[in-house]
Amino acid sequence: MANTSLNTQPIYTSSADTQWIGGATAANTTKDLTSGTAYLAFTASSTGGGYVQRMRFRALGTNVATVARVFINNGGVTGTTANNILWDEISLPAVTLSEVSALPTYELPLNFALPPGYRLFVTIATVVAAGYAITTIGGKY
Amino acid sequence: MNEYYLCEFEYGYEGQFYQEIFNNQVVRYADLDGNTLTLEGEYGCRIINLNPERPVWAN
């Protein structure tokens, strides 16, 4: 017998939700998010949750090569291992500031829903001078 | 010519160190005396001076 309680209709977010980090520069090699500097990239609506579409990493100037790690947190304290999971990584090659050509933008596809109060944190693995602007594009349910 | 960032650890290790950079690539980490640091395990660090006085041992 079919389960008629399943949601068979796609749902859309009710409003856009764009959040960002102004400049990530500190390094953190944690793989479980329990220590060190972590940058809060997105917090899902506490009532209906949210949908995250993508995350963009934009160098703010000259940076050495690094890697960014994205963690999902369930809304609890990050110091507890069970509250966090490493979701993905993206390499961020070295870049040199220019006033005559654009620096590259790096983008991580997300495309998943977050329950109410869930958060996305980002760490970078080497210290960088100018830092990265990290923008998350999403919506609120 | 190498560049140096003066950094400090946030966890994993204690104290300050230099991040040595050439051509925008991290060449090595060095303690304040110029000895190469081999970092193992997880650690955190941040820059405390982007343009420190050039270390006397620097090439």
Tens-digit pLDDT profile for residues B3-50: 999 999 999 999 999 999 998 889 999 999 999 999 999 999 999 999
Rounded Cα distance between A32 and A84, Å, is: 6
Q: Which of A10, A114, A117 is nearest to A52 (CA)?
A: A114
Q: Would you call A35 and B46 a contact, using CB atoms and an 8 Å cutoff?
A: no
Q: Give the gap in angstroms from C-alpha B12 to the nearest C-alpha of chain A.
A: 9
Rounded Cα distance between B16 and B9, Å, is: 6
Going along chain A from its start, the domains and CATH numbers come out as 22-140 (2.60.120)
Rounded Cα distance between A36 and A79, Å, is: 10
User: Does the beta carbon of A34 lie under 8 angstroms from any beta carbon of chain B?
Assistant: no
Rounded Cα distance between B16 and A133, Å, is: 26
Whether ipTM > 0.90 holds is no
Q: How many CB pairs under 8 A join A and B?
A: 61
Q: Give the gap in angstroms from C-alpha A100 to the nearest C-alpha of chain B.
A: 19
List average pLDDT for each run of 10 residues in chain A, which is 141 residues long. Answer: 75 94 95 96 96 97 96 97 97 95 96 97 96 97 94
Phi, psi at residue A32, to the nearest 5°? Answer: -125, 5
